[in-house]
Structure 1
Amino acid sequence: MSAALDVEGLCAWYGSAQVLFDVALDVQPGEMVGLLGRNGAGKTTTLKCVMGIDAHRSGAVRFEGEDVAGLRTESLARAGIAWVPPDRRIFTGLTVLENLQLAARARQVRLDLDLLVDNLPILGRLLDRRGYALSGGEQQAVAVARALAGRPRVLLLDEPTEGLSPLVVEELRTAFVQLPSAFGIAVLLAEQNLQFVLSLASRVAVLETGRVAYRGSATEFAESPDLQHRYLSVSSERSRLD
């Protein structure tokens, strides 16, 4: 079986400055892989390159075995790759339900509201509220639900816990545990919250100045303070990266 997402030899530039160097990673169907690294290591750039946004890029990006590196962002979205950016970008003038309906309509799929609410219970009390009336955590849940409403096969999550309280982070973690199996998707989770990633991902890749410095099992990384310190400059007791 082909990987749901396979990145190989990915390089990226902003102008003349190279920011990614031969990045390679893969995510299998039904798997969640964590992408770790310090601020500026290249996590967001990697996700943007997968989606064909901003940076000039080279290398292979394969979606279910087909190289899609030359496709435009909207074509990738229609094909089944969804990206949830750190600033959420929900339509604040629309209700939560309207945000979800719009996402499903854009992909020409039926909105399965019951499935979304079952797996993101916070939605149940938000459907009639407009985006501007939501807290940061509520907006994040809606942004994830909106991406899932289009029934993607690959979901890219970019810093979903940024700026959220520990209580909301735990609520998201509980919901995210079941995303790959409940929706039948592959998830690439870029995060600085180490414990959040290690509690969810089966494997991790660590970026260091635009290069993959480590790839391996999340369990191995969780059990090795030495690896955490070497690549992230954190101790095993810290749950948030520097």
Structure 2
Amino acid sequence: MLEVCELNVAYGESNVIRDLSLRVAPNEALAIMGRNGMGKTTLLKSLIGLLPARAGSIRLDGADITKLPSYQRVAQGLAFVPQGRMVFPLLTVEQNILSGAAKSGHRTVPDDIYRFFPVLEDMKQRRAGNLSGGQQQMLALARALISRPRVLILDEPTEGLQPSIIEEIAQTLNLLRAERGFAIVVSEQVLSFALDLADRFLVIDRGRIVHDAARSNLDQDKVRSFLTV
């Protein structure tokens, strides 16, 4: 379980995340939704350790990881796919995937990675910079998943992707979660993608959680009202 308690995160003197608390159960998919500038990316960067917490705590399966650097959080079981994918454009697909294997020790790409992302096997010797946006997103996911995370953190994974690719990624993540049993925390603005993936929805506004609902009783119109400018 990932537990965040009264978290505060700041840029300089500006407090962006304010007394935020949440829990993510094992195998649960949690969507964090909200308009741009409301704190979604700041929250996810704080979870993975790219931004320090000013106050509060982050715990993974009971262990306090609040002060651990990012690489140690990855070793503990977190994985992060940043907004914009951030693949290494001059490395091959295979080299990119293996760059995420420090914890697992893989020297070759496991068969199940290519089973879930067959297009990457076909292109494994191609430079990542020559892939389409959808292929690069699949590559970023594969690089994160090779570490066998307990919690996969995704920041705006549908950004710039066409609808058919968005649907394919949601289906693949659902299959992976069912097979591997990891949790997902996803920052998202595309409600249709979140509905395909998430069990529970949080809406963040000015650094605070203002709405929390399970998919089974989600008021979609209310969530959309938080997403409109």
Counterpart pick for 1:27 among 13, 21, 24: 24
Structure 2 residue matching 1:199: 3-state secondary structure: helix
User: d(CA) in 1 for partners of 2:34 and 2:115?
Assistant: 32
Would you say the 8 A contact 2:26–2:183 is kept in 1?
Answer: yes
- Count of paired positions: 228
Q: What does residue 109 of structure 1 align with? A: 105
Q: Which amino acid aligns with 2:39?
A: G
Measured in 2, the distance between the counterparts of 1:229 and 1:191 equals 12
Would the alpha carbon gap of residues 160 and 229 (structure 1) be closer, same or farther in structure 2, given more than 3 Å must change?
Answer: closer
Instruction: Kindly indicate whether residue 87 of structure 2 is the aligned counterpart of residue 81 of structure 1.
Output: no
Give the fraction of aligned pairs with identical amino acids, expressed as a percent.
39
Contact 1:201–1:218, Cα closer than 8 Å, also in 2: yes
Are 2:225 and 1:227 aligned?
no
Query: So what's the TM-score if we normalise by structure 2?
Result: 0.93
1:185-204 mapped onto 2 (5 Å cutoff): 185-204=182-201
Which residue number corresponds to residue 156 of structure 1?
153
User: How far apart are 1:21 and its partner, in Å?
Assistant: 1.1
Distance 1:134 1:206 in 2: 33
SS for the counterpart of 2:100 is helix
SS at 2:3's partner residue? Answer: strand
Match of 1:147 among 144, 147, 170: 144
How far 1:56 moved relative to its partner? 4.5
Structure 2 residue matching 1:47: 3-state secondary structure: helix
Q: Cα deviations across residues 159-214 of structure 1 (Å, max 9, x unaligned)?
A: 00001111211221221222222222111011111110011111111101110001
Task: Specify every segment of 5 or more residues in structure 2 that has no aligned partner in the other structure, as ranges.
Answer: none
Identify the residue that residue 46 of structure 2 maps to in structure 1. Answer: 49
Query: Aligned-residue CA RMSD in angstroms?
Result: 1.6
DSSP 3-state at the match of 1:19? strand
> What amino acid is aligned across from residue 194 of structure 2 in structure 1?
V
Q: Is the 8 A contact 1:14 1:56 kept in 2?
A: no
Q: Distance in 2 between matches of 1:162 and 1:132?
A: 17
Is this contact kept in 2: 1:198–1:219, CA < 8 A? Answer: no
Q: Which of 204, 209, 219 is matched with 1:207 structurally?
A: 204
Structure 2: distance between partners of 1:26 and 1:56: 17
- Deviations 1:198-239 (Å, cap 9, x if unpaired)? 111111111011100011202322xx2442244334xxxxxx
Q: In structure 1, list runs of 5 or more residues that go unmatched.
A: 234-241
